[in-house]
Amino acid sequence: MFRISKQLSHGRRNSAVDGGRVAAEAHSEPIRERGGVMPLPKKLTPPLEAAGSRRTPKVLHKVDVQRSFGPVQVVISPECTVGDLIKAVIELYVKEKRRPLLAETDSLCFELHYSQFSLQSLKAEEKLLNLGSRNFFLCPKHSNAANASCSCSYSYSDEAKAEANSLFPLAKFMDFLP
């Protein structure tokens, strides 16, 4: 009797699974998996959105500031420009009270490079999406006739200058001690 009930339930399971599979396939889209095609219910598929209603995702950018310890991490949209990134980095640098303190917080006094070894700076109007990198280097612009409006020949505060000219040259490393 035990064998008969086992066979009946086994027979029912197969018919239920087959019937369930047919019902599931009628209301779903197949997905290819390693073992074959597996049906996915339509309720689990993401709804199709209109192209205009989707917001662009924000991306993490890491920017090393000249003479600073560690990169500033900024989450910003790839549709923003290099000028927007410079402005966001400076705001975050000042907000976090990083050292050395910046004498000038005007974004026009700084330029962004791919790395500290890159001589050519990026254009302020260029979109971040077109750059192909998320790691950059921020440094003050060199003072010349083109930057006459910006008074940042050496873009660090008087405190940083005093530390550089002090009698105790190792005192400038004391900012990093806990």
User: How many domains, the chain?
Assistant: 2
Q: Which CATH number covers residue 144?
A: 3.10.20.90
DSSP class of residue 26?
Answer: H
Same domain for 122 and 38: no
| The predicted structure's pLDDT at residue 46 | 57
* Token couple for 94: 């000042």
| The predicted structure's pLDDT at residue 103 | 86
pLDDT at 125 over 50: yes
Answer yes or no: are the C-beta atoms of 81 and 72 closer than 8 Å. no
Residue type, 172: K
What is the Cα–Cα distance from 65 to 163, expressed in whole angstroms?
18
Q: How confident is the model at residue 111 (pLDDT cuts 50, 70, 90)?
A: very high
Same domain for 129 and 67: yes
Q: How confident is the model at residue 152 (pLDDT cuts 50, 70, 90)?
A: very low
What is the Cα–Cα distance from 83 to 73, expressed in whole angstroms?
16
Residue 6 resides in a domain: yes
The dihedral through the CA atoms of 143, 147, 150, 156 has a sign that is negative
pLDDT tens for each residue of 78-108: 999 999 999 999 999 999 999 999 989 999 9
Question: Domain of 22?
Answer: 2-44
| The predicted structure's pLDDT at residue 55 | 74
Answer yes or no: are the C-beta atoms of 157 and 102 closer than 8 Å. yes
Residue 54 resides in a domain: no
Pairing of strands 135-140, 59-65: parallel
Residue 52 resides in a domain: no
pLDDT tens for each residue of 35-69: 666 665 555 555 555 555 677 789 999 999 999 99
How far are the Cα atoms of 76, 83, 94, 120, 145 from residue 88, in angstroms, in the given order?
8, 9, 10, 21, 26
pLDDT at 139 over 60: yes
Q: Locate tokens 């490393």: which residue?
A: 173
